[in-house]
Each structure stands twice: as C-alpha cells, then as structure tokens.
Amino acid sequence: MKKIGTVKVLGRFLSLDQGRYENGRIAIALDQGMFGKLTVNIPEAPLPIGCILVKTWAENAQLREPALATGLFEDTGERVPCGFCQAEVWRYTPPEGNKK
C-alpha cells in the first residue's frame, strides 16, 4: 500500500493508504488497514473509471467529511446498493506518483 495522505478523525491523524482489491479496484485503507477501510468492494456494481465505492455508514460515518476535506475525493452524488445501505461513489484524484 502507498500512503496518499492523512485524515484527522476524533482528534487522531490516520494515514490514507492506497492498495487494490483482488479484482483490481482501488482500495483505501486507514493506517495500513489497522483502522479499517474507507472503501468497500462490490464487484458486481458498475463503477466509472477513476471512482471508488465508499462506506459512509456505521463506524465509517465519522470519516466522510474529514476524507472529503483532504481534496483527494469528490462525491459524485451517485449511490450503489450495499445490503441495507448505500455505498457512495466518489471520484478519486490520487496524488502524483500514486496513479497506478
């Protein structure tokens, strides 16, 4: 995983780390996965190039605004069903050197 930035949540700074799911989609973890993931993988969901599916419910609810404030992500307004919830579709603009 490559560090792409940091996010402050509940007074603590966590690294945002970019990796990949087994199907090749981008995964964004918090502190190398020690604090979970920002993203969720729904392989059957269509996803535009340059976008990620973001879990913004339950324990991740407090991550939404701080993650968007980093400038790395933009909410497209699109949603994808995920069980009883909906994953948000965000456009991801990785920093130079992390575009792979």
> How much of the chain, in percent, has pLDDT values that exceed 90?
82
Residue 28 has pLDDT above 80, yes or no: yes
C-beta separation of 5 from 70 below 8 A: yes
**Residue whose C-alpha is closest to residue 5's, from 58, 50, 54, 67:** 67
pLDDT, one tens digit per residue, over 32-52 is: 888 899 999 999 999 999 999
Q: Which amino acid is at 88?
A: E
* Residue-range domain boundaries for the chain: 2-92
CA distance 30 to 15: 6
Determine which helix (DSSP H) or strand (DSSP E) holds 4, and give its type and residue range.
strand 2-9
Of 100 and 80, the structure prediction assigns the larger pLDDT to 80
Cut 0.85: pTM above it: yes
